Amino acid sequence: MGDRGNIAVLQSDKSQIWLYSHWGGSGLPERLKQGLAAGRGRWNDESYLTKIIFGYAVPSDNWKEETGYGISGCIQDNSHPISVVDIPRQKVFTMDEGLLVGGKVPEGFTPDPKRIWSFEEYVALAEVED
C-alpha cells in the first residue's frame, strides 16, 4: 500500500541523492517542476537546488514527522517511473526502475529521447506525466 515514488538528483562528482515519498509518489513529477521553477536562480548550485527540490517534494506539515519522506543514496520502495534531475547536464528525464543498476542510475545512462527535457523545457511543460 502507499503511493511510493523517487526523484534521483545526479551530482557532478557522480554521486546521487535520492528523494523518497511514501504517500505522494504520483505527485512528485509536478512538485519537481514547481521546485525547478522556484530554484531557477540555483540551477548551477547542486546543494541549493537539491534542497529546493526536496522542499517542494515534502509538504510543509510533514517536515518534522518520522515517516512519509526520506533522503537516501539509492532508490527506496517505488511504484512509479523515476524522475531524474541531472544537474551537471541541466536535464530532467524519467526512467523505469528496471533500468537501475544496484539501485542507482547507471553512469552514462542514455534516456529515451521522448522522456528527456532541459530544465527550461521541463518547467514549461503544461502537464507532467507519470
Regarding beta strands 116-118 and 69-72, do their DSSP bridges make them parallel or antiparallel, or are they unpaired? unpaired
Q: What is the pTM of this model?
A: 0.94
DSSP E strand boundaries for the chain: 5-10, 16-21, 69-72, 82-86, 91-95, 116-118
Q: How confident is the model at residue 1 (pLDDT cuts 50, 70, 90)?
A: low
Q: How confident is the model at residue 127 (pLDDT cuts 50, 70, 90)?
A: confident
Q: With contact defined as beta carbons under 8 Å apart, do 85 and 9 qualify?
A: yes
pLDDT over 90 for what percent of the chain? Answer: 85
**pLDDT exceeds cutoff 90 at 129:** no
- Read off the pLDDT of residues 59-92 as tens digits, 9 standing for 90 and up: 888 778 888 899 999 999 999 999 999 999 999 9
Q: Distance between CA 123 and CA 104 in Å, rounded? A: 24
Q: What count of other Cβ atoms lies within 10 Å of the Cβ of residue 59?
A: 15
Q: Distance between CA 106 and CA 92 in Å, rounded? A: 15
Burial of 76 (0-12, 13-18, 19+ CB in 10 A): middle
